[in-house]
Structure 1
C-alpha cells in the first residue's frame, strides 16, 4: 500500500479513537499552537437542469444568509461546477444553456457578484489540476464506499432501486468526483463549507485528504470545517420517498424556479398525498402531505411551523385540495419577483458573461497561489 494512503487510514482510525497521530506520519510538529487560518467560505452547485424549489430552499437561501452575515473581510466563493455535471452523460448544447441559466438564477435570487466570487468551475483549470494531485493520495476503497454514486446512477437510469445498479455501470469520473469536490474546497483554502447532510461524507473525505497531504508534504491546506446547514428538505411531488431532484426523469416531480403560476398549480395539484380526508403533519406516515406543509411553512409570512399550519388547516376542515391550492398560491407569490429578475438577467447574455469572467479572474488569483504551493511541496515546482 502506498505510504500516503496508509496515512489516510491512520487519520481515520485516530479520528475515531481520539489517539494522537504517529510521529512518523508527520514531517514536523510544533510545540506552539497554530494560529487559526483566516475564514474562507466555499460552496458549489451543479448546473444540470433549471434550479428547483429544493435548490432554492436548501442551498440558495442558506448561502444568501452566509453572504449577508459573514464579515466583509471573509472571502466568499460560489462555483457552478460544470466538471461535476459531466460525470453523467450530458447534451452539450443543453449544458451550455444550463450553465447560463444557473448563473442567471443565482443572480436573480440575490447572489451579489461584488461580495461573492461567482464563477464557472471549468474556467479555473487549477480545479482539475489539484484534483489529479489529490487523486494520488485518495484510497479507491474509500471512494467505493461512498453512498452517492449508486443513487446518482439509479436516478439517471430511472431504476426502481439502487440494487439494480452494479459496479459495471460506474465510470471513473463518477467514482472519483468526491476527490474533485475536495479539490474545489481546498483550492481556495476554504475553512467554512456549508453542506447538507447528504454531503457530510464527502466533506469528511476532503478533511482527511487535507490532513494526509499536510503530513506528507507540509502544511498547505487548512482543514475545512463541517458546517451542516439547516435545510428545508423538499421531497419529490411524485414520490415523497425521494428528495426533489433536477435529475429525476419526471418534470412533474419538481417545481422549477421559472415555472409559471399555472405550471406550479398543475404540479402541486398532482402531488402524491394519501386518502386521509383531514390534514395532519406526520412526516413518517404521511410524507406527501408533510412535504406540502413544509413548503408552505418555508414561505409563510407568520413563520408558522408545518405542524402549526397543519393544526390550523385541520381546525378549518381542510382536505388535500385546499392545502394544495394554498401551497400553489404562496409559492407562486414568493417566486414572482425572483422570476421577474431572472427574465431581466437571462435576456442580457453580455452581463452574464461579464459576471462569469470577472468571477473567474478573481478565483484564479487564489487558485494560482495555492497550486504554486502544491507543486513546490510535492517537488514539481521547478528545477
Structure 2
C-alpha cells in the first residue's frame, strides 16, 4: 500500500533548541514510520532575513547534522537541502504568478516581521509563503505537519493548488494539515516561548556544565522571594519542563511540595537538570560524532537530493507542460 507523502522543512538559522525538538523534530521522527517523508533544510527561506554568507554553509551543515542526531533515518525518509533541488524555486515563481498580492500582504508572519524589522521588508519575505507552497507541492505532498503559526501559510498552499487545478486541470493534491499536540516550551526568562532570537533557550546539544548553569539561573515564580515562601508551579517555566522530563509521581510531588514550601527552587532545578542531561546526552554525543565524521552528513544530504530530484523534475515538467511553456528548445 502506498504511503501518503509528507513534506516539512526547517530553516538553518541557529542552534536547535528544546522548543524546536518538541515543536517539530520529535514529531518528524515518529512520522517517518507512518508516511513517505521528505524533510528539508530550507536555506532559501533563511536568506529572507539578515544572514551571514560566511557562516551559512556551517549553519546548513549543523542543521542537517541535528536532524540525523535526533533520530531521522536516511533509510526511512529523504533529507535534503532546499537549494540542492532547484525545482523548488522554479515552481515558486510559477505559483507566485497565481498568488494574489493582497492575500500575500495579509499573511500574519509577513506583517509581524515587517513590524519587527522595517528596514528589511524585501520581496523574498513577501513571497515566502509562495516558496513554502512550492516546497510542498513540488513533491505533491498529501499531508503537512504544521504548528498554529503555519496554518495560514498552508491554507495559501491549498488555495494555490486549487487555483492551478481549476485553471490547468486537476494535478496537485490539496495538502491536509497534520496538527499534533505539542507542549509550549517557555524560555528561561519565563516571559515568552523559547527562542534563539531572545537568547532564552536551551540547546538540544548543550554541554552538561552549560546546561546546569542555564537551569540554575532560570527564572521561576517571581513572587517566591525566600525558601520558605510557598510557590506556584502553574506559573513556573521550570515546572513546565518537569511536566515533560519527569515521571508523573515526581511531577505530583514537586507540585505538592512547591505549594507548601516543602521543596525549594534550587532542589527543584537540580532534579530537572538530572533528567534533562540524561535525555539530551545521546543527542549531544551523536551530534559530536557527526561533526567528527562530516562526510556522513554530506553523503546523506547528497543522497537525499538525488532521491528528491526525479520527483521534483517530474512535477515541474508536468506543470510546465500544462502551462504551455518549456516545450521549445532553442539552445
Normalised TM-score (structure 2): 0.91
Residue 303 of structure 2, aligned match among 339, 358, 363: 358
Does residue 296 (structure 1) correspond to residue 242 (structure 2)? The answer is yes
Q: How does 1:1-383 map to 2 (within 5 A)?
A: 39-68=4-33, 70=34, 74-152=35-113, 162=115, 166=118, 169-238=120-189, 240-248=190-198, 250=199, 253-273=200-220, 274-276=222-224, 277-282=229-234, 286=235, 289=236, 291-300=237-246, 302-303=247-248, 309-311=254-256, 313-314=258-259, 317-383=262-328
Q: Which runs of 5+ in 1 are unaligned?
A: 1-36, 154-161
Q: Is the 8 A contact 1:150 1:165 kept in 2?
A: no
Measure how far apart 1:313 and its partner are. 4.3
Classify 1:101/1:88 alpha carbon distance in 2 versus 1 (closer, same or farther; 3 Å): same
Q: 1:211 to 1:280 in 2, by over 3 A?
A: same
Secondary structure in 2 matching 1:93: coil
Residue 296 of structure 1: CA displacement?
2.0
User: Relative to structure 1, is the Cα distance of residues 319 and 84 closer, same or farther in structure 2, using a 3 angstrom cutoff?
Assistant: same
SS at match of 1:92: coil
**Residues of 2 paired with 1:219 and 1:62: CA distance?**
31
Distance, in Å, in 1 between the alignment partners of 2:317 and 2:253 is 55
Measured against aligned partners, the alpha-carbon deviations of 1:145-173 in whole angstroms (never above 9, x if no partner) come to: 111134445xxxxxxxx5x654x641111
Corresponding residue SS for 2:65: helix
- Give the drift of 1:135: 0.4
| Total equivalences in the alignment | 322
Q: CA offset at residue 319 of structure 1? A: 3.0
Q: CA deviation at 1:268?
A: 1.8
Task: State the 1:303 CA deviation.
Answer: 4.9
Deviation at residue 42 of structure 1 after TM alignment: 1.1
Q: How far is the alpha carbon of 1:317 from its aligned partner?
A: 1.4
Please tell me the root mean square deviation across aligned C-alpha atoms, in Å.
2.1
1:188–1:367 contact (8 Å) kept in structure 2: yes
Q: Could you tell me how far 1:38 is from its partner in structure 2? A: 6.0
CA distance in structure 2 between the aligned counterparts of 1:324 and 1:152, rounded to whole angstroms:
35
Shift of 1:226: 1.2
